[in-house]
C-alpha cells in the first residue's frame, strides 16, 4: 500500500539505506468514554450524531535509520507515548502501517510478534511501576533470557544475568532483592538490563529519566548511551526535556497534537529551528546563554483533539497563521539534509 508519492514527499533519496523502522500515515483514535453503551453523542452545533473519540496520533510518517537516537519531543498529551506504544505493538493502530526491517508488523498476532520481541525492546517511564513487585532482580532478568533461549543451560542463563547486572552497574550480590529495595535510578538500571536481556537492536524509551531525581538522570542517560555503543542500538527516545535531547539525540522529531511538525538532525534543529512551534518550544526552555528569554510566547492551551483537525494543528496558537493554515493541513517539505518541516509559512517563505 506504500504509494510512491508518499515516499517522495518524505524526501527519501534513492541512496539512503533502508530504515530500520518506518511508520506510514499512522493513526490512533481512542474512544472517549469506552464504558458507554453508545459511542455517539448529539452535537448541537452540527445537529448530528458524532462519535466521541480522541485523535491521539494523527497521520505520522517517520523513518528511523540504524544507529540513530531519534528523540520525539512535545508537550504532555501530544501523542508521543501513544506513538511509542503503537510501534511496540502494545496498542493496535486505527489506521496506517508500521514496518520493521522491511516487514509490516502492525497487524501481527502474538505468535508472529515473537521474533520481533527479541529485536525490539522498551524502557518505561516509571521504574516504580515497570518492575513486578513480586519478583527478585534475578528472577526478573532470568525470565526473558529463559523464554527466548529455551535451549540454554541454567549456568549459561545465570552467567548472562550476571553480565547484564554488571553492565548496568547493579552489584550481582543484590540479585535476590526485590525491586522495592532499590532507589529509582537503580530500578531504572534494572529495567534497562531487562530490556537488554534479549539483545535487542532497537529500543524504545518512553521518558526513561523524567521520573528520576535530577542528579541520577545523567547517570542513567550515560548508561543508555554506553549501551548504545556496546550493543549497537537504535533508539526511539520519548521525552519532553530539551536538555536531554541535546545530550542524547542524533535526530529530533517535534510533535504537536498527534502530528510531527518538524524533523531534523539534532544540531540543525537546535541551530536553525524552522517550525513556529519548535521555535516556541526552544524559546521556552531556559538557557544560560540566552540574552532574550521568553521572546516567543504561546497563548492558549493544547486543545483536546476530539475531532480530526482541519488545516494545520497548530493554527490556533500560531502567530503566523493565515487562511490557508486554517483550511489545509500542511504536508512536510524537505529542506537541506533531511530537515523536514510541515508548515505553510515556511513553504511560502513567510518565516
List contacts with another protein (CB under 8 A).
Answer: 85, 88-90, 110, 113-114, 117-118, 120-122, 124-126, 129-134, 143-144, 147-148, 191, 194, 198
Asked whether the CA dihedral 226, 20, 103, 330 is positive or negative, the reply is positive
In terms of CB distance, is 114 or 222 closer to another protein? 114
Question: Least CB distance from residue 189 to another protein, whole Å?
Answer: 14
In terms of CB distance, is 89 or 276 closer to another protein? 89
Question: 50 pairs with which residues across the strands?
Answer: 41
Question: Least CB distance from residue 242 to another protein, whole Å?
Answer: 24
In terms of CB distance, is 120 or 281 closer to another protein? 120
Question: Least CB distance from residue 234 to another protein, whole Å?
Answer: 16
Q: Which of 55, 91, 34 is nearest to 206 (CA)?
A: 91
Q: Which of 210, 318, 278, 223 is nearest to 73 (CA)?
A: 278
**What's the distance, Cα to Cα, between the start and end of the chain in Å?**
35
Question: Least CB distance from residue 181 to another protein, whole Å?
Answer: 12
Q: Which residues of 203-239 are buried (b: 16+ CB within 10 A; e: fewer)?
A: bbbbbbbebbeeebbebbbebbeebbeeeebbbbbbb
Report the C-alpha gap between 135 and 113 in whole angstroms. Answer: 25
Question: Least CB distance from residue 16 to another protein, whole Å?
Answer: 28
CA distances from 209 to 58, 155, 169, 325 (A): 26, 33, 17, 36
Question: Least CB distance from residue 175 to another protein, whole Å?
Answer: 14
Report the C-alpha gap between 136 and 149 in whole angstroms. Answer: 20
Strand-pair category, 120-123 with 69-73: unpaired
In terms of CB distance, is 70 or 123 closer to another protein? 123
Question: Least CB distance from residue 41 to another protein, whole Å?
Answer: 22
In terms of CB distance, is 140 or 245 closer to another protein? 140
**Strands, DSSP E only, in 229-306?**
234-239, 251-256, 259-265
In terms of CB distance, is 201 or 347 closer to another protein? 201
Contacts of 135 (CB under 8 A, 6+ apart): 143, 178, 179
Give the relative orientation of helices 154-167 and 137-148 as an angle to the nearest 10 degrees: 120
In terms of CB distance, is 144 or 309 closer to another protein? 144
Amino acid at each position: 500500500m506504500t504509494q510512491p508519492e508518499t515516499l517522495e514527499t518524505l524526501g527519501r533519496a534513492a541512496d539512503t539505506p533502508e530504515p530500520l523502522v518506518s511508520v506510514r500515515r499512522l493513526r490512533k483514535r481512542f474512544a472517549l468514554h469506552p464504558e458507554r453503551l453508545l459511542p455517539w453523542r448529539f452535537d448541537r452545533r452540527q445537529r448530528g450524531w458524532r462519535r466521541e473519540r480522541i485523535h491521539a496520533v494523527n497521520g505520522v510518517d517517520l523513518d528511523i535509520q540504524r544507529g540513530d537516537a531519534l528523540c520525539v519531543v512535545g508537550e504532555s498529551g501530544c501523542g508521543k507515548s501513544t506513538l511509542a506504544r503503537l510501534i511496540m505493538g502494545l496498542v493496535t493502530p486505527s489506521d496506517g502501517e508500521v514496518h520493521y526491517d522491511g516487514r509490516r508488523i502492525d497487524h501481527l498476532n502474538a505468535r508472529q510478534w515473537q521474533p520481533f520481541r527479541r529485536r525490539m525492546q522498551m524502557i518505561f517511564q516509571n521504574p516504580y511501576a515497570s518492575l513486578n513487585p513480586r519478583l527478585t532482580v534475578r528472577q526478573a532478568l532470568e525470565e526473558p533470557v529463559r523464554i527466548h533461549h529455551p535451549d540454554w543451560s541454567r549456568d549459561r542463563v545465570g552467567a548472562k544475568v550476571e553480565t547484564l547486572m554488571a553492565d548496568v552497574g547493579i552489584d550481582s550480590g543484590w540479585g535476590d532483592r526485590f525491586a522495592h529495595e532499590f532507589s529509582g535510578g537503580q530500578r531504572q538500571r534494572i529495567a534497562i538490563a531487562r530490556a537488554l536481556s534479549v539483545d535487542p537492536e532497537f529500543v524504545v524509551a518512553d521518558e526513561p529519566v523524567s521520573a528520576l531525581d535530577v542528579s541520577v538522570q545523567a547517570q542513567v542517560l550515560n548508561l543508555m548511551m554506553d549501551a548504545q555503543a556496546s550493543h549497537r542500538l537504535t533508539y526511539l527516545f520519548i521525552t519532553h526535556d530539551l536538555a536531554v535531547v541535546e545530550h542524547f539525540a542524533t535526530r529530533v522529531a517535534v510533535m504537536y497534537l498527534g502530528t510531527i511538525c518538524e524533523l531534523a538532525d539534532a544540531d540543525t534543529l537546535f541551530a536553525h529551528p524552522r517550525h513556529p512551534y519548535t521555535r516556541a518550544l526552544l524559546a521556552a526552555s531556559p538557557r544560560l546563554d540566552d540574552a532574550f528569554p521568553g521572546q516567543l510566547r504561546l497563548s492558549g492551551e493544547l486543545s483536546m483533539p476530539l475531532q480530526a483537525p482541519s488545516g494545520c494543528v497548530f493554527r490556533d496558537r500560531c502567530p503566523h497563521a493565515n487562511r490557508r493554515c486554517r483550511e489545509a493541513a500542511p504536508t512536510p517539505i524537505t529542506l537541506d539534509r533531511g530537515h523536514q518541516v510541515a508548515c505553510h509559512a515556511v513553504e511560502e517563505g513567510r518565516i
